[in-house]
């Protein structure tokens, strides 16, 4: 009865969005670097490039340095609510859409302190990566809560979201779509953005840095933690071992699956999306403190996928904690579940940083 209730609730919540578009399938070879493009079949070109990118030392998530950070202070009224301003910096991966190439982050320092006053903030800070299609206000409340409980928070806008969305989009379709290589590259962009945000925190004197991500943001957070040595703790909210399986089976991505159907099968997609799948990078999070949260009645991140990832953490002896939400994916954002979720996330980060 509980499963039926939550599954029906999940479907109703998912049906609220009326602007989902089934986009045509594309291999996306134009998103490959020039040296990876050949005269061979498109699938072969992509498979060869992917195989090279998942090898040790490929440099796929290497980050070029920058000092081009601009923090614009919040208005007085916003500052009174703990808003320390808006951080902007250039993305390390350049896309064809200029709006998307500037990263935007909302800064919530502990007690409203200036970035350099890290003694008062105890040197603790967290990068917050929200869910797919989160608007500009998504996870702001969580970031404010983190600051209230002693952890400064930098809430990032993901690629192609809110301020970074070009005029032709109403949803962030270009980060998860039926364009195979574009999906890889834009998720890679999000990871590089996260690493660059960590570099800014470190430049301000923060030494105990974590990352918190939800849904798509959870996957991107694990990838960021795996490749950023300054991150010591990751709080992952809704988890799966494989990026492709969530897209193929999840409630939120039915329209993306329709674009893929008839052009590629599930096994091939899993192989091609290895660079952006947590499973590929688990060996790189052994030295991190990890919290893995899943929802018991999730139709977007199917339960067996979450349990497979947790079982693999256990099998490999990777240190971790787990949390279970007695709800579904969308209903995580409803009371009382959102409060329980926030409590688990904040408690873990306070203990781990």
Q: Convert the pLDDT of each residue in 69-117 to its tens digit.
A: 999 988 755 555 678 899 999 999 999 999 999 999 999 999 765 555 5
In this structure, what CATH number is given to the domain that contains residue 185? 3.40.50.1820
pLDDT of residue 111: 78
* Residue 51 counted as domain residue: no
Percentage with pLDDT > 70 across the chain: 95
Cis omega before residue 336 (within 30°)?
yes
Bridge partners, 86 (sequence order): 72, 106
* Residue 182 counted as domain residue: yes
* Residue 25 counted as domain residue: no
Closest CA to 29 of 19, 21, 18, 40: 40
* Residue 53 counted as domain residue: no
> How many structural domains is the chain composed of?
1
pLDDT of residue 239: 98
152-156 and 321-325 beta bridge pairing: unpaired
* Residue 68 counted as domain residue: no
Pick left, alpha or beta for residue 311 (phi over 0 → left; psi -120 to 50 → alpha; otherwise beta): alpha
Whether residue 331 contacts residue 12, with contact meaning beta carbons closer than 8 Å, is answered with no
The tens digit of pLDDT for each residue in 212-267 reads: 999 999 999 999 999 999 999 999 999 999 999 999 999 999 999 999 999 999 99
pLDDT of residue 186: 98
The tens digit of pLDDT for each residue in 19-43 reads: 899 999 999 999 999 999 999 999 9
Whether residue 188 contacts residue 93, with contact meaning beta carbons closer than 8 Å, is answered with yes
Q: Quickly count: other Cβ atoms within 10 Å of residue 19's Cβ.
A: 9
* Residue 311 counted as domain residue: yes
* Residue 45 counted as domain residue: no
Burial track 170-208 (b if 16+ CB lie within 10 A, e otherwise): ebbbbbbbbbbbbbbbbbbbbbbbbbbbbbbbeebebeb
* Residue 79 counted as domain residue: no
pTM of the model: 0.95
Question: Exposed, middle or buried: residue 72 (CB in 10 Å: 0-12, 13-18, 19+)?
Answer: exposed
Site of tokens 């902007």: 88
What is the span of the domain harbouring residue 200? 2-16+84-352
């Amino acid at each position: 009865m509980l499963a039926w209730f939550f599954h029906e609730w999940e479907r109703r919540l998912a049906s609220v969005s009326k602007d989902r578009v089934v986009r045509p399938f594309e291999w996306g070879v134009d998103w490959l670097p020039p040296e990876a493009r050949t005269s061979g079949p498109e699938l072969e070109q992509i498979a060869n490039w992917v195989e090279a990118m998942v090898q040790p030392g490929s440099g796929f998530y290497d980050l070029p340095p920058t000092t081009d950070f601009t923090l614009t202070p919040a208005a007085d009224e916003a500052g009174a609510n703990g808003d320390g301003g808006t951080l902007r910096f250039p993305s390390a991966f350049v896309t064809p859409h200029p709006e998307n190439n500037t990263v935007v982050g909302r800064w919530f320092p502990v007690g409203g302190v200036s970035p350099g006053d890290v003694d008062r903030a105890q040197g603790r800070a967290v990068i917050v990566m929200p869910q797919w299609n989160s608007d500009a206000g998504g996870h702001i409340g969580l970031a404010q809560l983190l600051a209230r409980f002693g952890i400064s928070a930098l809430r990032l806008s993901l690629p192609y979201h809110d301020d970074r969305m070009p005029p032709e989009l109403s949803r962030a379709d270009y980060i998860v779509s039926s364009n195979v290589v574009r999906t890889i590259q834009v998720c890679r962009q999000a990871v590089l953005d996260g690493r660059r945000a960590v570099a800014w925190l470190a430049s301000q004197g923060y030494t105990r840095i974590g990352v918190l991500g939800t849904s798509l943001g959870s996957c991107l957070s694990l990838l960021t933690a795996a490749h950023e040595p300054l991150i010591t703790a990751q709080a992952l909210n809704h988890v799966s071992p494989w990026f492709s399986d969530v897209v193929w089976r999840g409630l939120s991505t039915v329209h993306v699956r329709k674009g893929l159907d008839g052009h590629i099968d599930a096994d091939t997609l899993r192989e091609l999306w290895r660079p952006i799948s947590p499973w590929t990078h688990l060996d790189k999070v052994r030295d991190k403190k990890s919290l893995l949260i899943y929802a018991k009645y999730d139709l977007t991140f199917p339960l067996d996928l979450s349990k497979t990832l947790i079982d693999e953490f256990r099998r490999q002896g990777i240190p971790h904690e787990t949390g279970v939400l007695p709800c579904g994916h969308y209903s995580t954002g409803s009371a009382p579940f959102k409060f329980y979720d926030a409590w688990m996330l904040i408690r873990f980060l306070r203990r781990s940083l």
